[in-house]
Amino acid sequence: MLRVFIGIGSNVEREANIRRAVAALQAQFGEVKCSPVYRTPAVGFVGDDFYNLVVEIETDLTVETLAAELRQIELHQGRHRGEAKFAPRTLDLDLLTYGATIGTYGMVVLPRPDILEYPFVLGPLADLAPELCHPTVQRTYRELWQGRIASEPLTPVPNFLSMQAEPSA
């Protein structure tokens, strides 16, 4: 079984869509560990704020099969992949890491470049796996986040999921 991290985001019926996504992942993979949920402004378009978090699962599915399962969960919640990149989202499930795998698998790049680009991905990942090293830069997620937190703080959504990890300082 591999340790896998998935980014979750929504700005359309955020609470309901995220709760359904976590429930779907639990039904499929068993235990789901969740970071705190953060409110972040829409990037690249004018729209409602997003709720973002990172979850951890364990799986023995291949990258391609797991990515297909995530697309099915998105589709079930009204997400259509043909939409513009910067647009409102019912649900966005992004495979961030798959163990320490590095490479491209169809449309999936591992580790996902968004980890190093967006605070709403790196911050929750640092909350959930602070001592884990990024596979390509060989620094822990805590170290990477501490280098950015002062200039790019995140706004926690209190008491969103009862299974949340504590935010890292």
Q: Which residues are catalytic?
A: 79, 89, 92, 94
Its sign, for the CA torsion 89, 133, 30, 168, is negative
Tokens of 82: 């043909």
Cβ burial of 20 (10 Å; 0-12, 13-18, 19+) is: middle
Alpha-carbon span 47 to 91, nearest angstrom: 14
Element (H, E) at 3: strand 2-10
Structure tokens at 6: 């998935």
Instruction: Specify the pairing of strand 33-34 against strand 103-105.
Output: unpaired
Here the tokens at position 16 are 């309901």
